[in-house]
């Protein structure tokens, strides 16, 4: 909000002599900060709904592979994201799952080098389909592996942008869909954020 007000004040000023380049930069500041503010409001609303139990999912059966690829494409991640692994059928609210994966990818991009690649890997057991988002960042201390999912939590010395809501919202939506989410990491070796969802068993078709 401070950035928006400052930029608007500069554009309205009758004493400042602004070049066309200055005006473009101020308008870009307003645009970027407005987008961040809108995202923060949306996150706060989602968190409030989750805490109030008012975020009931509307689940459908999806192929995990198709759902992950569609979610990655829709996330608008400004980084290289590779997708690989096996598929399974899951019952999930596609919109909520897309929000979960977008938050996990955004978090991975934030903590990865600019030239790094975020990997999204899928595996399946008899009971669960698992999606892992792997970054190339500095890793997380063992004591913080659970705390990163707390609302507003920020690691010591973390000055990156964000309110610390993304992972809390991701956990809320995953649990609302009957799944679980956790972090795996060793300092200096990157972090893996994993989501597990129950596998849908489809009865085999018997020959007529």
What is the per-residue DSSP string for 96-144? HHHHHHHHHHHHHHHHS-TT-EEEEEEEE-SSEEEEEEE--S----GGG
Tell me if 205 is assigned to some domain. Answer: no
- In tens, the pLDDT along 37-74 reads 777 787 788 788 887 787 889 999 999 888 888 888 77
Same domain, 83 and 172: yes
Orientation angle between helical segments 20-51 and 166-176, nearest 10 degrees: 40
Mean pLDDT of 20-31: 83
Domain with 125 in it: 60-198
Tell me if 92 is assigned to some domain. Answer: yes
Contact 26, 18 (CB under 8 A): yes
Same domain, 84 and 14: no
Locate 12 and state its tokens: 């309205």
Same domain, 96 and 156: yes
- In tens, the pLDDT along 83-122 reads 777 788 999 999 999 889 988 888 888 887 766 678 889 9
Which comes out higher in pLDDT, residue 137 or 206? 137
Q: What is the CATH number of the domain that holds 84?
A: 3.30.565.10
Same domain, 78 and 40: no
Number of structural domains found in the chain: 2
Contact 101, 139 (CB under 8 A): no
Is the pTM here over 0.85, yes or no? Answer: no
H/E segment holding residue 185: strand 180-185
Locate 104 and state its tokens: 């996990």
CA atoms within 13 A on the CB side of 93: 17
The rounded distance, in Å, linking the Cα atoms of 135 and 138 is: 9
- In tens, the pLDDT along 173-191 reads 999 999 999 999 987 888 9
Same domain, 46 and 93: no
Tell me if 203 is assigned to some domain. Answer: no
């Amino acid at each position: 909000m401070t950035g928006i007000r400052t930029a608007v004040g500069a554009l309205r000023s009758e004493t400042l002599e602004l070049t066309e380049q200055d005006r473009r930069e101020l308008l870009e500041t307003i645009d970027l900060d407005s987008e961040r503010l809108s995202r923060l409001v949306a996150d706060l609303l989602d968190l409030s709904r989750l805490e109030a139990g008012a975020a009931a999912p509307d689940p459908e059966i999806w192929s995990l592979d198709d759902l992950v690829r569609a979610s990655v494409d829709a996330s608008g991640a400004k980084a290289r994201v590779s997708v690989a692994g096996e598929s399974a059928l899951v019952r999930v609210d596609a919109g909520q799952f897309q929000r979960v994966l977008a938050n996990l990818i955004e978090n991975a991009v934030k903590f990865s080098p600019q030239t790094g690649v975020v990997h999204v890997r899928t595996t399946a057991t008899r009971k669960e389909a698992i999606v892992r988002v792997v970054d190339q960042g500095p890793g997380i201390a063992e004591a913080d592996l659970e705390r990163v999912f707390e609302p507003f939590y920020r690691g010591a010395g973390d000055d990156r942008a964000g309110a610390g809501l993304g992972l809390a919202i991701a956990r809320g939506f995953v649990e609302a869909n009957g799944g679980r989410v956790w972090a795996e990491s060793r300092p200096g070796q990157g972090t893996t954020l994993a989501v597990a969802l129950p596998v849908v068993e489809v009865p085999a078709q018997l020959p007529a």
